[in-house]
Amino acid sequence: MSLLLEGASKLQAIRWVRPRLDILDQLLLPHASTYIDIRTSADGHRAIATMQTRGAPAIAIVAALSLAAELLGSYEKVSAMGAEAAAALIEQRLDYLGTSRPTAVNLFDAITKLKAVVGRALASGHSVVDAYVDAAEAMLAADVADNQNIGRFGAEFIERHGGPLKVLTHCNTGALATAGHGTALGIIRSLHGSGELEHVFFTETRPYNQGARLTSYELLVEGIPATMVCDSAVSALLRSDPSIRAIVVGADRVARNGDTANKIGTYQLAIAAKFHGRDFIVAAPTTSIDLEMESGKGIVIEERGMDEVLVTEGFAADSVVDGQLERAAVRVAPVGVRAWNPSFDVTPAGLITAVVTEKGVFVKSEGAEEFNLLESLHK
């Protein structure tokens, strides 16, 4: 079955045509657009851990579909195990996929949901496998629909300022981080689509350069007017251009009170937005909201190797040798220097103007420093 998803942008980070899963190798973007075949949950784990695929929603979907591909590749063998053994195998593989990256709650939300689906399908080995695959496929389709709603709600919220609008975004939250359209970049796509967007500024997003490599690529492909800035230039930019009305970012995990873990540098942007009196908007599907997490204090922040900070000016593909891309790794800092390289930081709810989800726009009560997302989501 081909899941050619209506509404997905021209870029597809994830290609699922049952039983085959291919993902765009984002380590090679923007210099090469290369799809890699993901046949097993081990392939999926590696692609997520190495950030060949990344972005909170995309991580969950690739994890789920990598196991779907594995199960379909050995359908009769797994089905013949019987319901209980097949379910146990699936649970073991899902727990393994959960060790790929710690911060994005979408992955753990998907694992919990998929285990529940399997637990309700124990009539036979076949029914367990069929139920798992159907549920994994549904996540792919649901994400695009969610992103379209996030885009619409977020655009309407920003348009209250009156257009045409200039906004700024951080990292990559578009079709390369989701099943299509995007979250914060989905709002930007929606503003552009309605003719309300004058210009978008985006940060290069050191040290992994999701902005310089991925957001730049998406905006160029879509023909959206954009300018890249260094992460360190944002305050000066806001001060120089009062018509930049909002900073819109994604999320890896939003706690019940609205504290938000997102790409490193987000917290600084929230402080800059507050100081300059601009909206600071978090765009995320409800699968990024962790209602069991009271505040951001409990969020595990992934730390990655120092080389991303010290060695490369970007994962630039330097040349093609015998058809293989040779990535350039340029040492910038001297040997021996140490670095601190958290992948994410936590922005306190008090600095956040609104959390935009597929279920609507949530704001804090008058005078409140925190959100009550448990109440907002269950109204």
Ligand X SMILES: CSC[C@H]1O[C@H](OP(=O)(O)O)[C@H](O)[C@@H]1O
Q: Is residue 263 close enough to count as binding ligand X by CB under 6 A?
A: yes
Q: Taking the complex as a whole, how short is the minimal distance between the CB of residue 130 and ligand X, in angstroms?
A: 30
**Residue located via tokens 């029914």:** 127
Q: Which helix (H) or strand (E) segment is 198 a member of?
A: strand 197-203
Q: Which stretch, 70-78, 245-253, 315-323, 369-377, contacts ligand X (CB under 6 A)?
A: 245-253
| Nearest C-alpha neighbor of 355 from the set 255, 269, 219, 210 | 255
Q: Is residue 296 close enough to count as binding ligand X by CB under 6 A?
A: no
Q: Taking the complex as a whole, how short is the minimal distance between the CB of residue 246 and ligand X, in angstroms?
A: 15
Q: Which stretch, 82-90, 246-254, 330-338, 346-354, contacts ligand X (CB under 6 A)?
A: 246-254
Subset of residues 332 to 361 that bind ligand X, contact rule: CB under 6 A: 343
Q: Taking the complex as a whole, how short is the minimal distance between the CB of residue 76 and ligand X, in angstroms?
A: 36
| Nearest C-alpha neighbor of 250 from the set 155, 151, 183 | 183
Q: Is residue 55 close enough to count as binding ligand X by CB under 6 A?
A: yes
Q: Which of 173, 257, 260, 286 touches ligand X by CB under 6 A?
A: 173
Q: Is residue 210 close enough to count as binding ligand X by CB under 6 A?
A: yes
- Which CB atom, from 45 or from 72, has the smaller least distance to ligand X? 45
- Which CB atom, from 312 or from 343, has the smaller least distance to ligand X? 343
Task: Name residue 254's beta-bridge partners.
Answer: 260, 289
| Nearest C-alpha neighbor of 315 from the set 58, 15, 51, 56 | 51
Size of the site for ligand X (CB under 6 A): 17
The helices-and-strands tally (H runs, E runs) of the chain is 12, 16
Catalytic residue among 43, 109, 231, 252: 252
Give yes or no for a contact between 201 and 237, defined as CB atoms under 8 angstroms apart. Answer: yes
Give yes or no for a contact between 5 and 179, defined as CB atoms under 8 angstroms apart. Answer: yes
Alpha-carbon torsion (175, 176, 179, 183), positive or negative:
negative
Subset of residues 175 to 204 that bind ligand X, contact rule: CB under 6 A: 177-178, 183
- Which CB atom, from 262 or from 347, has the smaller least distance to ligand X? 262
Q: Is residue 250 close enough to count as binding ligand X by CB under 6 A?
A: yes
Give the contacts of 213 (CB within 8 A, at least 6 positions apart).
26, 29, 30, 172, 314, 315
**Residue located via tokens 């936590």:** 346
- Which CB atom, from 56 or from 168, has the smaller least distance to ligand X? 56
**What mask of x and - would describe binding to ligand X in positions 125 to 164, judged by CB under 6 A?**
----------------------------------------
Q: Which stretch, 1-9, 53-61, 234-242, 364-372, contacts ligand X (CB under 6 A)?
A: 53-61
Residue 143 token pair: 């994400």
Q: Is residue 287 close enough to count as binding ligand X by CB under 6 A?
A: no
Q: Which helix (H) or strand (E) segment is 362 a member of?
A: strand 360-362
Q: Which of 252, 279, 290, 345 touches ligand X by CB under 6 A?
A: 252
Q: Taking the complex as a whole, how short is the minimal distance between the CB of residue 177 and ligand X, in angstroms?
A: 4
Q: Residue type at 258? A: G
Residue 151 token pair: 């885009």
Q: Taking the complex as a whole, how short is the minimal distance between the CB of residue 203 and ligand X, in angstroms?
A: 11
Alpha-helical regions (H) of the chain: 41-49, 56-73, 75-79, 83-97, 105-119, 125-158, 184-193, 216-222, 234-240, 266-275, 307-310, 373-377
| Residue 252 falls in the annotated catalytic set | yes
Q: Is residue 247 close enough to count as binding ligand X by CB under 6 A?
A: no
- Contact residues toward ligand X (CB under 6 A) are 54-57, 171, 173, 177-178, 183, 210, 249-252, 262-263, 343
Residues involved in catalysis: 252
